[in-house]
Structure 1
Amino acid sequence: MLPTDLLGDWVLRRTVDDRLAGVTGSVTGTTTLTLTAPDEVRWDESGTMHLGDLVTPVSRTLSVRRLDDRWTVHFADGRVFHDWVWGTAVEHACTPDDYTGVLAGHTECWTVRWEAHGPAKDYRLDSVLERRSGRAD
């Protein structure tokens, strides 16, 4: 699946299991994938996180860029986050911790799972994204 297959608005539901802090929580909100250039998709997330006693707004912007036949996810500041690979684990090394993620699903519902392990982090994030509106072609 390519990022261009997922353009549009999505309902975001994320569970958070922070084993290091000993808390669980959730994020509810929206994700929008927008084609900003023929070879670039903007990924905007916003919502509310409930983690223990904390309730706070959260947001992030990523971009997914194609170079030749390869797509790569980038942080808002341009740093590479990970390769866009569907259904197979990807890794993001961020010393001192290691992150492993998987993107999977179809054009009406997809998931993103991240595991972080190391001395500073030990958590799992499971995100489910369900299409909110008609496909934005």
Structure 2
Amino acid sequence: MANSNNSTGQDLGTALISRNGSPSSLEDFWGAWQLNRQILQNSGETFLFAGQANFTWLDSHLLYHESGLVTGPDRRALQAERTYVWRQQAGGKIDVLFDDNRYFHTFSAAEPCAEHLCGDDHYVVNYVFDHWPRWESTWQVKGPRKDYKMISLYQRA
């Protein structure tokens, strides 16, 4: 579970759960997570994602990679994956970047909400760490091209 031989040189065995029961640094997210997601379209259709999210060290950052199956309302399943870079900032803040290093958003356990504009589409996320190390993110996406709510639940694999 814990590995003291990581690129930051810190002991992850003690970093997995911070003192206040919420994540405070990248070390808290390191490792494998079971990921279950609901994508609730405004049209009433629901898509389900089941898979895994892995946080691995890339220099002093974490590479977030998720992969799994998305099942649509017609019960057809498709393989899906995505990658982000998580970068530590001061005060427990974490920058999330797209895999090409473009900025996406910033959050922390103390400031768990963030926004992102993609053209005319508006993305708002709320992270919930009340039951750490189980956590969730809820995205509300509205715009001319998109209108859905996406709820992702993470727990240690």
TM-score > 0.5 by shorter chain: yes
Q: Which residue of 2 aligns with 1:49?
A: 70
Give the counterpart of 1:72 among 95, 99, 110.
95
CA contact (8 A) 1:48 1:58 kept: yes
CA contact (8 A) 1:16 1:25 kept: yes
Count of paired positions: 130
CA contact (8 A) 1:33 1:42 kept: yes
Q: Which residue of 1 aligns with 2:47?
A: 25
Query: Structure 1: which 5+ residue stretches go unaligned?
Result: 133-137
Give the counterpart of 2:118 among 94, 111, 119.
94
CA shift digits 1:74-115 (9 cap, x unpaired) = 011111110032253100111111000012225421101101
- Residues 1:131 and 2:131 are matched in the alignment: no
| Greater Cα offset, 28-37 or 81-90 | 81-90
CA shift digits 1:12-65 (9 cap, x unpaired) = 000110114x41121000001112223x11101000001222420000010111
Moved over 4 A (4+): 67-70
* Structure 2: distance between partners of 1:67 and 1:16: 30
CA contact (8 A) 1:4 1:35 kept: no
- Larger Rg: 1 or 2? 2
* Structure 2: distance between partners of 1:108 and 1:82: 22
Larger relative contact order (Cα-Cα within 8 Å, sequence gap ≥ 6):
1
- Residues 1:36 and 2:58 are matched in the alignment: yes
TM superposition shift of 1:67: 4.5
- Normalised by the length of structure 1, the TM-score is 0.86
Give the counterpart of 1:118 among 133, 138, 143.
143
CA contact (8 A) 1:5 1:107 kept: no
Percent of aligned positions that are identical: 28
